[in-house]
Amino acid sequence: MKRVFTIAEKNWQGSCLQYKWQKTLGNYLAVAGFNSFSRSRPRRAAVLMALARVCVYVLRFDNSIKIFDRHGQRVNEFNLPGKCVAMDWDKDGDTLAVIADKSSGIHLWDANINKISQLDSGMRDQMSFILWSKTGPLLAVGTAKGNLLIYNQQTSRKIPVLGKHTKRITSGCWSSQNLLALGSEDRSVTVSNHEGDTIRQTSVRSDPADIQFSVMKTDERASPGESTIQSVSSAEDSINSRESQSDNQSSEVDVVSVAVGKKTLFLFNLTDPDNPIELAFQQRYGSIVSYRWYGDGYIMIGFSQGYFVVISTHIREIGQELFQAHNHKDSLTSIAISQSLNKAASCGDCCIKIHDLTELKEMYAILNLDEETKGLDQLSWTDDGQLLAVSTQRGSLHVFLTRLPILGSSSGTRMAYLTSLLEVTVANPVEGEAPVVVAVDVEPNFIAIGPYHVAVGMNNRAWFYAFGENGVERLKDTEYLGTVVNMCLNADYAAALFEGKVQLHTIEGEEQEERQTKLFSGGDDKYRILSHALTADFLFFSTDTGLIQCFFIEDWQNINEYRHPVGVRRIFPDPSGTRLIFTDDKSDGFLYCPVNDMVFEIPNFSPTITGALWETWQGDKGVFVAYDDDKVYTYAFHKETIQGPRVILVGGTKLPFSHKPLLLHNGELTCQTQSGKTNSVHLTSHSFLNTNFSEASNEQLTQMLQKALMLKRFQEAWELCKLVNSTDTWAEIGRTCLHHIEVELAVQVYRMMGNVGMVMSLENIKTIEDQNLLAGHLAMFSNDFNQAQDLYLASSCPSAALEMRRDLQHWDSALQLANRLSPDEMPFISKEYAIQLEFIGDYVNALSHYEKGMTKDNKYQEHDEACQAGVARMSIRMGDIRRGVNLAIKHPSRALKKDCGAILESMKQYSEAAQLYEKGQYHDKAASVYIRCKNWSKVGELLPQVSSPKIHLQYAKAKEADGKFKEAAMAYESARDWDNVIRILLEHLNNPEEAVRIVRETQSIDGAKMVARFFLNLSDYGSAIQFLVLSHCSDEAFQLAQQHGQMEVYADIIGPEATAEDYQSIALHFEGEKQHLLAGNFFQKCGQFSRALKHFLKCSNTEDSLAIEKAIETVGEAKDDALTNQLIDYLMGESDGMPKDAKYLFRLYMALKQYREAARTAIIIAREEQSAGNYRNGHDVLFSMYTELLTQKIKIPSEMATNLMILHSYILVKIHVKRGNHLKGARMLIRVSSNISKFPSHIVPILTSAVIECHRAGLKNSAFSFAAMLMRPEYRNKIDLKYKKKIEAMVRHPDTSELEEDSTPCPFCGFQLPECELLCPGCKNNLPYCIATGRHMVKEDWSVCPHCDFPALYSQFIQLLETESVCPMCLESLSVNQVRRISDCSSYLQLNELEQ
């Protein structure tokens, strides 16, 4: 709060002042003081000055009254005959009444004409009190002897009332009903009417003071007596809340309040005078200094000890303090309340403290007057609350500015606002320019600012100031033809609004004479201009008839006008003049574009809106705010959207109390306050500009994102989306980009989302230049199909609307568009529409559209056939069955016949349905419907083509009922109802063979039971048991088998499906029958291995071989050492003294998986077989053992491998000789003969064969050596006679020539060695041999048998398999196609090393 002026007269020093503000206007302050040593006359110059400007009157005590204006200038002074006793202004502030000591006259000063007059009271005693009425021209004057005078200024009537009181009248108050309450030193209070008649009177305990009228709320009668106020802490509830909680049924009564003896507060109820209320206070508060009524029956009281207390007069709260504060430490001298400001002030201790009445706990302001060491005296506010005066005890008076008129204006980013009564500040906070203070000559009523000028004015006069390098310079002042309401400036011109007219004129500079000024008026009262605005190029004004006129300054002519239905109150153009906001008489808001005369209603426009501001930040040209006293609403005008231009509400921001917006820049609203300062308010719609995103929650970020999108702040929205990073937020920004036709940005957004389809769609349309077509596509992507259609129709490609409606299956709209755009498409759309109508059951309209869909053009035959099919279906559904059936029969489609047949069947038109099914070759359906008609003859005709078992079954039952069992059996068989087939065959056709066949094939349980019963009746127990088992009647089958000695048959039948209990039952049966082999067999199957072995070893000699095999199998399964040892003892002959064949021991070891022992046994067996001449058996034993050891990854004994190789070489001899390959046979015989000792039974035949084959193969030397061996005495006589002479001759005449053996590389080291050599001299490895030739293997010609995995030379193996069909090693069937050459044989060579 700013101090406006201080009055400190020397002759007032040390005395207290008496002063009064002019009522209502507050333009004068009258001051009176004591100890005056000089008398001054009114100065005429001051009087003249008072006439020229608004003044404040100050009354002064030194037997003179001094009058000051509101700027502290003395405007008048007049002397009194004595010291000033009292003074008061009338209700309008026109007349000041003063009474003085030692005078019976009343001095009246007229503020309007600055004239002093004197009124003779007619009273002879000293006057002590004077007070003007609050509502009329009545003046009450009291005297020292208790007499009263009521003077009517309007009628000059005087009403003397003698003896109103017996002593001095000291205080009084007028009510709003013109009742006068007076207090006197006679300790009584009277209430009189305006005629002076006493209507109420009461006595008090002490001298009354500070009498006031008010109203008090009560809902019950108060009992007489005194109520003591109890101290409470700070307000438990705010006064506002108590006002809202006041009893709705309480009534208001007039009450007179009196401070009695400065100790108590006396409340005198005029309607209940017998029950007054007297409130006493705590002694620590001190005496009552002053009190004031305010609000809804509340009283604020100031106490001498510095306490500041608020009480309520509501009867329920009258004993409580609502608020209490020790405002001043030492003393409190005065309190004052301003209802217009809603503020309360108290003074004391050299300071003034101001509270807001809505929140008393908070201190609004503190004014320190440290220079006033003697203390402060009285406080007084002007009625409008603008000025607060405080007098001091040293005789000075200070006036503070508590509320400044909010006057301000802005142009671009520059603004001018009133900072004091005679001071205007120009500032540009956006550009960072230093504020410039302009001292003005008058207290202005309006302010205007332009790019280079500022103007202030009052009434019909304006002063212009220019911004220069040296500061602000005054240019000129201009008078207008009426009181200026508002003024606007641009760079060159000023426009003033007065009396419904606008005057446009230049500010400075030389213009053409006709362009210097122009007056805009309605003329002949056609209209009154209500508002105007000036931009750089245009003057806009609006009228009470709804006209908005645009005047182009450069061309000096009107260029545009718009007529609104009702009067336009205010207009607010943007800086460029291309957009204009206006409000009308209905308090609605609109945005008008003069360029194209488009008008948009502003949504959610509050009827209390008082003004609007456009955003000055270049990035938000379409953003503006509208504001009222409490709130600011942010709007955005979107010029280009898929829905066309539109205005949207972005958000609302609460406006602090008494803030007037002046400037909006980038979401920051600069407001002017009552204190003459500016304050920035950040709009909630722009909260994303002033928020630390890292500290915001996801919900807050989402809300800020929505605001950013509404304002088209896409860069900030992108950053917010990256922080939230959710699909929903990216989708939201994507939809907004589509809405605002921001295709490139939309592509980026949907690419970020990974929405490939949308990206591709947008890429396809982004090059479209037709704005309507592009917007139509975007509206369609946004699912706004109606808008898309309108845009398509307005574009260069209206057919896109039809295409869209067809794709969406909006057939009504599609037909309307096709009729308008493409009539040739109507049949096709009608067909598609008919399909949908048929689907939803609207058959009437479907039939109509199918008929409309017919083109009767051979080019569209398929289309017409579809329509004909629809007509057929719909005709049937509509009841025209004959037409529908005929159309369906003629139609080539089988599916149509089926559909129509189904419809007819649902309508119970079975004959026609069956006919259509038959025509459509749906024999199953046709037969089913014929069955429903009981038309068995037609069913029989169709039966060969029917595949449905259900139909066959129905037919079979019908035939069985007719006794035609053979046909019934065939039908049951077609229906796959095997049980009934079996039943018919057994019961009626006597064909058990066929029944048995069917049971075996179908495994029918019920059928098996029927067959079993049949055979049981025939005493064929084996067959009966078989079919009982098949029907899962195992118990019956077992009993039958036991009764009739068919247990073996039963055991064979149950097979692998039997349980352990079944096997045990069978085993026990055979055990009882002493059939040990069978008993052991079934004990083994049920897992009782000990009992099984016991029975196997008891078997007779005839069953010995099989029994031993089963015993070995049993021990192998049991894996029980005791059983194993028992069997070994048996095989070794220890139990019966008869050793068994070694092959059984081998098989035992194999069963027990004791492969090493099995291998040793196998060698022994093989040796025995060789000795016996059973070379193939020995080979097979060694081979099986060899492969088993390989499987178990056990090293192969070298003796086993060598014996297997020799035996295999012997077997190959026969193969090669049979194939005529004598060289290969001779080579193998050489290998066998070299180990002839392993073939003791056939030494001579083998050597003889070797001699013959070597001779045939050209191996003469080898033949000679073997012939010489045969000539030994032990062999010579055993030679076959037919070869003996030849062999002897060969010995006698030796031929030592020998065919040299080919060499091949070693597969391990590559050393060249004879191809039949199996030991490499180079690496000393035993080489793997070919199972087809016996030669050693070669890397490049490697293959294996797919069954036994033994190696073979690929080329030789293929040749061998051309004549042989089995592998020579494992004897498994083999073909050439199964053998594959192996390029990498390293794994087989490693395996060979393992064998070694």
pLDDT in tens, 374-419: 889 999 999 988 899 999 988 899 999 888 888 899 999 999 999 8
Q: Which residue has the higher pLDDT, 501 or 1185?
A: 501
961 confidence band (pLDDT: 50, 70, 90): low
CA 282 to CA 273: how far, in whole Å?
26
- 453-458/461-468 β-pairing: antiparallel
DSSP 8-state assignment for residue 90: -
> For position 246, what pLDDT does the model report?
40
pLDDT in tens, 95-113: 999 999 888 889 999 998 8
pLDDT in tens, 261-298: 999 999 999 888 898 999 999 999 999 999 999 988 89
> For position 823, what pLDDT does the model report?
87
pLDDT in tens, 233-261: 333 333 344 444 444 444 678 899 999 99
CA 267 to CA 332: how far, in whole Å?
23
Q: Is the pLDDT of residue 1393 over 70?
A: no
CA atoms within 13 A on the CB side of 922: 21
653 confidence band (pLDDT: 50, 70, 90): very high
Which range, of 154-168, 544-558, 583-597, 1168-1182, averages the lowest pLDDT? 1168-1182
C-alpha pair distances (Å), 1050 with each of 1027, 1035, 1037, 1066, 1116: 10, 11, 7, 9, 27
> For position 328, what pLDDT does the model report?
92
Q: What is the 3-state secondary structure (H, E, C) of 1072-1097?
A: HCCCHHHHHHHHHHCCCHHHHHHHHH
> For position 932, what pLDDT does the model report?
67
Q: Is the pLDDT of residue 562 over 90?
A: yes
> For position 1387, what pLDDT does the model report?
81
Amino acid at 1027: F
Q: Give the highest mean pLDDT range of 34-48, 232-246, 527-541, 1235-1249.
A: 527-541
> For position 231, what pLDDT does the model report?
33
543 confidence band (pLDDT: 50, 70, 90): very high
What is the mean predicted confidence (pLDDT) over 1089-1099?
Answer: 68
Q: Is the pLDDT of residue 568 over 90?
A: yes
Q: What is the 3-state secondary structure (H, E, C) of 1160-1214?
A: HHHHHHHHHHHHHCCHHHHHHHHHHHHHHHHHCCCCCCHHHHHHHHHHHHHHHHH
Q: What is the 3-state secondary structure (H, E, C) of 21-40?
A: ECCCCCCEEEEECCCCCCCC
Q: Give the highest mean pLDDT range of 439-443, 515-519, 624-628, 1281-1285.
A: 624-628
| Alpha helix segments (H runs only) across 33-180 | 44-52
> For position 237, what pLDDT does the model report?
39
What is the mean predicted confidence (pLDDT) over 800-808?
Answer: 88
> For position 60, what pLDDT does the model report?
39
The fraction of the chain above a pLDDT of 70, given in percent, is 78
CA 1007 to CA 983: how far, in whole Å?
7
Q: Is the pLDDT of residue 1129 over 80?
A: no
pLDDT in tens, 903-943: 887 887 777 777 777 787 776 677 766 666 666 666 666 66
What is the mean predicted confidence (pLDDT) over 576-597?
Answer: 93
CA atoms within 13 A on the CB side of 921: 4
CA 762 to CA 408: how far, in whole Å?
50
| DSSP per-residue string spanning 307-336 | EEEEEE-STTTTTBEEEEEE--SS---EEE
In sequence order, what are the residues at sequence separation of 6 or more whose Cβ sits closer than 8 angstroms to the Cβ of residue 1007?
978, 979, 981, 982, 995, 998, 999, 1031
> For position 166, what pLDDT does the model report?
94
DSSP 8-state assignment for residue 221: P
Secondary structure of residue 1046 in the 3-state scheme: coil
> For position 953, what pLDDT does the model report?
65
Residue 887, burial from CB neighbour count under 10 angstroms (0-12, 13-18, 19+): buried
CA 928 to CA 952: how far, in whole Å?
10
Q: Is the pLDDT of residue 447 over 90?
A: yes
Q: Which residue has the higher pLDDT, 56 or 446?
A: 446
Across the chain, how many H-helices and E-strands are there? Answer: 43, 64
Q: Is the pLDDT of residue 15 over 70?
A: yes
The fraction of the chain above a pLDDT of 90, given in percent, is 32
> For position 720, what pLDDT does the model report?
87
> For position 256, what pLDDT does the model report?
94
pLDDT in tens, 117-159: 999 888 888 999 999 999 999 999 999 999 999 999 999 999 9
DSSP 8-state assignment for residue 179: -
Q: Is the pLDDT of residue 165 over 90?
A: yes
Q: Which helix (H) or strand (E) holds 840?
A: helix 826-840
Which range, of 341-355, 911-925, 1239-1253, averages the lowest pLDDT? 911-925
Amino acid at 1229: L
| Alpha helix segments (H runs only) across 22-136 | 44-52
Spell out a b/e string for 1061-1089, using b for 16 or more CB atoms within 10 Å of the CB, else e: ebbbbbbebbbeeebbbbbbbbbbbbebb
CB 296 within 8 A of CB 217: yes
Look at the alpha carbons of 1366, 1372, 1373, 1375 in this order and tell me if their dihedral is positive or negative: negative
Spell out a b/e string for 17-49, using b for 16 or more CB atoms within 10 Å of the CB, else e: bbbbbbbebbbbbbbbbbebeeeeebeeebbeb
What is the mean predicted confidence (pLDDT) over 829-849?
Answer: 87
C-alpha pair distances (Å), 1183 with each of 806, 838, 1201: 80, 79, 9
What is the mean predicted confidence (pLDDT) over 1327-1351?
Answer: 91
> For position 249, what pLDDT does the model report?
42
Q: Is the pLDDT of residue 530 over 90?
A: yes
Q: What is the mean pLDDT of the chain?
A: 82
515 confidence band (pLDDT: 50, 70, 90): confident
> For position 229, what pLDDT does the model report?
32
821 confidence band (pLDDT: 50, 70, 90): confident
